[in-house]
Chains A and B, each alone.
Chain A
Amino acid sequence: MEKLMLLGDEAIAQGAIDAGISGAYAYPGTPSTEIMEYIMNSNDAKDKHIRTGWSANEKTAMEAALGMSYAGKRVLVSMKHVGLNVAADAFINSAITGANGGLVILAADDPSMHSSQNEQDSRFYGRFAMIPILEPSSQQEAYDMMIYAFDISEKFEIPVLIRIATRLAHSRAGVEQHTSREQNEIRLPSEPKQFILLPANARRRYKLLLRNQAIFEDASEKSSFNVYFDGSDKSLGIITCGIAYNYLLENFPDRDIPNPILKIDQYPIPRNLVEKIYNSCDELLILEDGYPLVEELLKGFLATGKKIKGRLDGTLPRDGELTPNIVGKALGKEFEETRPIPDIVKGRPPQLCKGCPHIYTYEALNDSLLEYTRGRVFSDIGCYTLGALEPFEAINTCVDMGASITMAKGAADAGFTPAVSVIGDSTFTHSGMTGLLDAVNDNSSITVFILDNATTAMTGGQKSSAYGKIEDICMALGVGKDHIHVIDPLPKHHDVNMEIFKKEIAYEGVSVIIPRRECIQTVARRLKMAKKIKEVHATK
């Protein structure tokens, strides 16, 4: 069978389709977005009537997935690592309810923060919830693991977390497709009360989860994804997690590694296999992308045992993603000096597109705040975060989805008025609405700019849950009708716009200004599509 050239994300998606999911839920976030995009565009998924589409946020996605599992069907929910923070309440509790239909949660981590505000390691969430975790080392393994993940989710009646990192998510390789499974029939959980987490039930369910830890660990010991390779040089044993294994191999072109290796791709950590490598080697080197989770556990707080090398003792850098060279250095390899980057090469940060509607909005916002002291603009996660850079330098914060509104409120409550928030349309319905309700209920003196470009732009133009609903939502939350303005962010309307900006910024209460103009990228795509359709009709 011809191999498919798939991104890690796409291998996950195809694996889920072939494992017999009935639905997929997600909120876009780099590097996880292509999972849902692939399923949405898959004819295979359409033929099988698999439910697809973007949720308002990761929590609603996680809960919908849990509901589908409750009904006995298999379901995938995917998100970026910080999305799991948003979904955490439902995620942690899903370990207590357990799963009925197979439930797989995919978290895509971003070590080195290519496109994120932190590099948190989702394996800690898996350990926190006490559920099995899988961490593929290749695109093929990502595909294979999806089938296996749904198997163990149903066998152990537990959600399973799959953790990938950017380098796997966004790298393409050949993948062999080998399974096509029917979907489940609707079937209620065997234990009728397991999803009612009243304390009495929850205590019982928690004890079951604790008892099942031994079963999960046993599965890790026997898993074909955890492999022990013996070696003759016992002075050092090497434990790898996920894609770190590839960087180890890369340093041995003939794959003749003299040391014993334990490749861990399934958690809980297989205790017997770890003991075996620990007892047979003088020292251990732990290679893992992200935080030093395995290293910390093996080392222990007092570090009284054998020497454990890794990110904590400086053998590897404490932060950032691993690379073949970093791993090579940890193995004592010397690398020749390579050519430096010439001094004339200048940084080229990403920037707002030519013709982006945010450009005018930031210029006008800067103008309208000239009469106040600086540092008043609380912003959020999206393309418009680039407003922090030159030439705009228009925003002062960017923390997490929705924080623009609530941080502005807190600052205003402290007496720092006027306080302005800048948030995108999709981010507003993701996590901004509840904060706006808080501000209305407190009559906090904030002006909220909801930059409505009718899409989730930064991740590539996915459908925004806010589309066509923003004014109604603001009004329903209690923002006064007279203090909600939709403006056209174009220089030719500057005088009218400035009057509105200045008046509402000075207003002591909650006001909302909605600069509305479609994202230049989605416009271009739409026009291209229209042209194509026209051409097709013309040739008919």
Chain B
Amino acid sequence: MKRDIILSGVGGQGILSIANVIGLAAIEAGLHIKQAEVHGMSQRGGDVQSNLRISDREIASDLIPKGQCDMILSVEPMESLRYLPMLATEGWLITNNKPFVNIPDYPEMEDVMKEIKSIPNNIAIDADRLAKEMGSARSANMIILGAASPYLGIEIKVLENAIKKLFKSKGENVINLNLKAFGMGKHIAEKKL
């Protein structure tokens, strides 16, 4: 079993919270893991990505080979497309479809969605809206993670435990909201199956 995942977004959107949940879960599941991150405030507002690799065998490279990525998990729609050369033919593209517009030449959303839909295995969710409706605008990333959960090769329960662990210091209420968001994303993905 191996999953090579590219997490993408814009600096400051918190892609590392998703990486941390998957990382904690992978450890609990006894898997090997490598996670290359982007650090430094210089990345603020710019495109950021993280190479997250989990496997039941020892992992060699910190970087995912081109064309072998099993999943692009993006919190921003245009950013999900930046890493298409990395994606395997059968790979999944799972993204928030709420654009983060901080450049003057951001493309038309219609064109962005057309490109996303052209990937056979895609899930695009308006996670920002759903999170807001749920009463927890900050849980959008957990909805995206939930949408990826059926394809991660890690038991749902283990992922949920990881969410509990990650948000432990923030109290019961925050944990429950994030678990709910996760469940909502998972439900959307399962409808796709």
Contacts and interface: CB of A to CB of B under 8 A. Distances in A.
A115 B42 contact: yes
A212 B107 CA distance: 62
Given A167-B63, A171-B62, A350 B44 contact: yes
B84 A340 contact: yes
A5 B34 CA distance: 9
B23 A5 contact: yes
A480 interface: no
B160 to A, nearest CB: 19
B166 interface: no
B40 A115 contact: yes
B10, B41, B78 interface centre (most CB from chain A within 10 Å): B41
Contact of A250 (B12, B61, B79, B87): B61
Contact of B63 (A323, A349, A461): A323
Interface stretch (B98-106, B151-159, B185-193): B98-106
Nearest to A459: B40
Interface stretch (A26-34, A69-77, A84-92): A26-34
Contacts of B23: 5, 172
B60 A250 contact: yes
Nearest to A337: B67
A338 B85 contact: yes
A30 B40 contact: yes
B42 A350 contact: yes
A251 B79 CA distance: 28
Interface stretch (A45-53, A215-223, A241-249): A241-249
Contacts of B33: 5, 172-174
Interface string A161-201: 00000011011111000000000000000000000000000
A325, A328, A342, A521 interface centre (most CB from chain B within 10 Å): A342
A498 B180 CA distance: 53
Nearest to B43: A350
Contact of B39 (A170, A174, A328, A347): A170
A246 B60 contact: yes
Contacts of B37: 7, 170-172
Given A172-B33, A353-B45, A521-B41, A5 B27 contact: yes
B104 to A, nearest CB: 8
Task: Tell me what chain A mostly uses at the interface: helix, strand, loop, or mixed.
Answer: loop
Contacts of B43: 350
Contacts of B27: 3, 5, 174
On chain A, which size bracket covers the interface? 35 or more
A414 interface: no
Given A174-B27, A335-B66, A338-B66, A345 B82 contact: yes
B105 A346 contact: yes
Interface string B21-65: 001000100001111111111111111000100000001111111
B184 interface: no
B90 interface: no
A492 B84 CA distance: 46
B112 interface: yes
A110 to B, nearest CB: 10
A323 B11 CA distance: 23
B73 interface: no
Contacts of B41: 383, 457-461, 521
B32 A351 contact: no
A328 B111 contact: no
B81 interface: yes
A256 to B, nearest CB: 13
A345 B78 contact: yes
Task: Tell me what chain B mostly uses at the interface: helix, strand, loop, or mixed.
Answer: mixed
Interface string A322-339: 011100100000011011
A533 interface: no
A341 interface: yes
A338 B34 contact: no
Contacts of A174: 27, 32-33
A3, A338, A353, A386 interface centre (most CB from chain B within 10 Å): A338
Contacts of B126: none
Contacts of B111: 344
B60 A249 contact: yes
Given A167-B36, A324-B65, A341-B84, A348 B102 contact: yes
Given A171-B34, A353-B45, A339 B107 contact: no
Contacts of B81: 341-342, 344-345
Interface in B76-127: 78-79, 81-82, 84-87, 102-103, 105-108, 111-112, 115
A347 B103 CA distance: 8
Given A338-B85, A345-B107, A350 B45 contact: yes
A7 B23 CA distance: 13
Given A167-B62, A247-B61, A250-B60, A458 B87 contact: no
Contacts of B45: 348, 350-353
Nearest to A386: B42
B44 A353 contact: yes
A139 to B, nearest CB: 8
A460 B36 contact: no
B138 to A, nearest CB: 13
Nearest to A167: B62
B46 A349 contact: yes
A243 B60 CA distance: 9
Q: Which 10 A-B pairs have the closest CB atoms?
A: A350-B46, A249-B60, A171-B62, A338-B67, A344-B107, A250-B61, A171-B36, A324-B65, A351-B45, A30-B40
Interface of B: 10-12, 23, 27, 32-47, 51, 59-67, 78-79, 81-82, 84-87, 102-103, 105-108, 111-112, 115
